[in-house]
């Protein structure tokens, strides 16, 4: 029942996480590639060697699902290496995959899914010790522009917090308006002509999720209420997530909001950014923040359909923060193991938008949409570093200026995170 993989007609943009994907294929019998629908999971596994030459099956095919339910091992009979696509549509196949690799560790499987298999309640079998997990997110701006290797600014600041993350000879950063990116989005499907009709595409994306994925994952009593809650969450993008307030504004119970947030996170449409608790001597807020898979999804749900509308909106700061957070996540995923992302806020009002933690190394990031960073913009970073003196601070802004703001605090344009080394210039460490 296996089909040989074939070259896909759509142009393939190299993904920064592709090297990590290939390394995992060599080290593990099972590699699970998850992420939201339309982030390019199928394209990645069918265009990247060696899985580009493997047999391929999709559980979108009803016949393949029927075979999985009847006797899953028949699906890979005669195949040593196989890609099983959209596996969340047939989670019962995981137990058969587990038995197959336990019987023969030379077998190789790639499983893809548009829902987080680690969170799905219907998945009872564990692939612990057998599988590696990789999340594919929307494109970075650098991947979109095909401008070379990923930025090293995150790694440099984590490893050498006392040094400038760029070289003195690095060229000035070319400004890119964040608002056009926020309103269009970074999903691969928007690379071509569809990019001119991004709002129509996002409308169809939301409808497809509601009609297809959501109903498969869980029972939702009212799609209209669910859509209203998504809109309420979009208006809080980048802010603290108070589920009781969302419930009030959305006209549902707090328990329902919590359950629906879990669904959005399972489908990778939204993610909670947990609170950082590294400093034990300061009273900290414990509420998470909310960010969307792609800031354009948040902008669309909030009703902002043009770059000018986004820039002038009350939500502009939160949506810009979401754009930066997306690129920080992309770079954090490239570290081994992937770095953790959190936020930090005290009851006194001190805060930083993101805290990147990689082992014992910490980087605090503050995001400001301003084009001209000012001393007041790093007040929260200074407060954080008083409790974490070995960490570094980074002020990410909407302009083009790079400079040192304080001891261990640097300011850089958002494009230094979003674009590759070719566009950002040679970096001081490893560049």
Binned at pLDDT 50, 70 and 90, residue 79 comes out as: very high
Q: Do 336 and 357 have their domain in common?
A: yes
Axis-axis angle for helices 223-234, 243-250 (nearest 10):
130
Average pLDDT over residues 21-44: 95
Contact, 387 vs 381, CB < 8 A? Answer: no
Can you give the pLDDT at residue 431?
43
Is residue 370 over pLDDT 50? Answer: yes
Q: Do 221 and 364 have their domain in common?
A: yes
Q: Do 92 and 205 have their domain in common?
A: no
Binned at pLDDT 50, 70 and 90, residue 428 comes out as: very low
Can you give the pLDDT at residue 266?
87
Q: Do 101 and 149 have their domain in common?
A: no
Axis-axis angle for helices 254-266, 223-234 (nearest 10):
80
Can you give the pLDDT at residue 7?
37
pLDDT digits (tens, 9 = 90+) for 90-130: 988 999 999 999 999 999 999 999 888 776 665 646 688 89
Can you give the pLDDT at residue 48?
94
Is residue 431 in a domain? no
pLDDT digits (tens, 9 = 90+) for 298-322: 999 999 999 999 999 999 999 999 9
Is residue 425 over pLDDT 90? Answer: no
Can you give the pLDDT at residue 172?
62
Q: Rounded to the nearest 10 degrees, how much is the dihedral formed by the CA atoms of 193, 196, 199, 203?
A: -20
Give the residue numbers spanning the domain of 256. 141-424
DSSP class of residue 139 equals P
Who wins on pLDDT, 144 or 278?
144
Q: Do 98 and 212 have their domain in common?
A: no
Is residue 429 in a domain? no
Can you give the pLDDT at residue 169?
59
Is residue 382 in a domain? yes
Is residue 299 in a domain? yes
Q: Do 242 and 341 have their domain in common?
A: yes
Helix then strand then coil, in percent of the chain rounded to 5, is 40, 20, 40
Is residue 54 over pLDDT 70? Answer: yes
Average pLDDT over residues 336-362: 95
**Considering its fold, how many domains does the chain have in total?**
2
Q: Do 369 and 240 have their domain in common?
A: yes
Q: Do 372 and 284 have their domain in common?
A: yes
Q: Which of 110, 135, 160 is the last residue of a domain?
A: 135
Lowest mean pLDDT among 27-31, 144-148, 217-221, 423-427: 423-427
Q: Do 227 and 81 have their domain in common?
A: no
Q: Do 328 and 237 have their domain in common?
A: yes
Q: CA-CA distance, 284 to 296, in Å (whole number)?
A: 30
Who wins on pLDDT, 147 or 137?
137
Is residue 145 in a domain? yes
Neighbours of 314 (CB within 10 A): 8
Q: Residues in the chain, how many?
A: 431
Q: Which of 135, 160, 193 is the last residue of a domain?
A: 135
Contact, 401 vs 388, CB < 8 A? Answer: no
* CATH number assigned to the domain comprising residue 21: 3.40.50.300
Is residue 240 in a domain? yes
376-415 burial: b if 16+ Cβ within 10 Å, else e: ebbebbbbbbeebeebbbbbbbbbbebeebeebbbbbbbb
pLDDT digits (tens, 9 = 90+) for 4-30: 433 334 467 899 999 999 999 999 999
Q: Which of 118, 135, 152 is the last residue of a domain?
A: 135
Can you give the pLDDT at residue 12?
76
Q: Do 338 and 364 have their domain in common?
A: yes
Can you give the pLDDT at residue 8?
37
Contact, 267 vs 295, CB < 8 A? Answer: no
Is residue 430 over pLDDT 50? Answer: no
pLDDT digits (tens, 9 = 90+) for 162-178: 998 987 656 666 778 99
Q: Do 22 and 61 have their domain in common?
A: yes
pLDDT digits (tens, 9 = 90+) for 193-235: 555 689 999 999 998 887 777 766 676 778 889 999 999 999 9
């Amino acid at each position: 029942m296996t089909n040989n993989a074939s070259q896909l007609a759509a142009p393939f943009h190299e993904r920064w996480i592709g090297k990590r994907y290939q390394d995992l294929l060599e080290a593990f019998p099972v590699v699970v590639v998850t992420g939201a629908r339309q982030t390019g999971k199928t394209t990645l596994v069918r265009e990247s060697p060696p899985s580009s030459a493997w047999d391929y099956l999709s559980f979108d095919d009803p016949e393949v699902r029927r075979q999985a339910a009847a006797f899953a091992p028949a699906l890979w009979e005669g195949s040593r290496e196989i890609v099983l696509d959209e596996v969340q549509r047939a989670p019962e196949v995981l137990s058969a995959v587990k038995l197959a690799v336990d019987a023969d560790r030379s077998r190789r499987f790639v499983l893809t899914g548009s829902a987080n298999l680690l969170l799905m309640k219907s998945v009872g079998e564990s692939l612990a010790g057998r599988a590696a997990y990789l999340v594919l997110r929307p494109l970075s701006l650098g991947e979109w522009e095909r401008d070379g290797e990923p930025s090293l600014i995150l790694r440099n600041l984590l490893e050498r917090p006392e040094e400038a993350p760029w070289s003195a000879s690095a060229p000035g950063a070319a400004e890119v308006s964040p608002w056009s990116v926020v309103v269009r989005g970074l999903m691969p499907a928007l690379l071509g002509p569809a990019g001119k009709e991004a709002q129509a595409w996002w409308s169809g994306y939301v409808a497809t999720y509601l009609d297809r994925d959501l109903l498969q994952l869980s029972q939702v009593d009212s799609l209209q209420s669910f859509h209203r809650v998504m809109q309420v969450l979009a208006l809080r993008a980048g802010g603290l997530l108070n589920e009781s307030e969302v419930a009030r504004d959305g006209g549902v119970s707090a328990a329902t909001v919590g359950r629906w947030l879990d669904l959005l996170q399972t489908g990778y449409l939204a993610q909670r950014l947990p609170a950082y608790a590294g400093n034990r001597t300061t009273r900290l807020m414990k509420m998470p923040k909310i960010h969307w898979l792609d800031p354009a999804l948040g902008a669309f749900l909030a009703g902002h359909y043009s770059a000018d509308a986004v820039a002038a909106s009350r939500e502009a700061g939160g949506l810009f923060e979401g754009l930066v957070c997306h690129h920080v996540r992309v770079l954090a995923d490239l570290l081994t193991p992937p770095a953790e992302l959190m936020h930090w806020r005290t009851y006194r009002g001190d805060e930083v938008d993101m805290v990147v933690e990689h082992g014992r190394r910490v980087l605090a990031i503050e995001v400001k949409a301003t084009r001209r960073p000012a001393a007041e913009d790093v007040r929260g970073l200074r407060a954080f570093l008083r409790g974490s003196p070995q960490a570094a601070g980074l002020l990410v802004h909407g302009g083009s200026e790079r400079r040192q703001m304080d001891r261990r605090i640097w300011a850089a344009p958002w494009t230094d995170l979003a674009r590759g080394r070719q566009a950002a210039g040679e970096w001081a460490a490893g560049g």
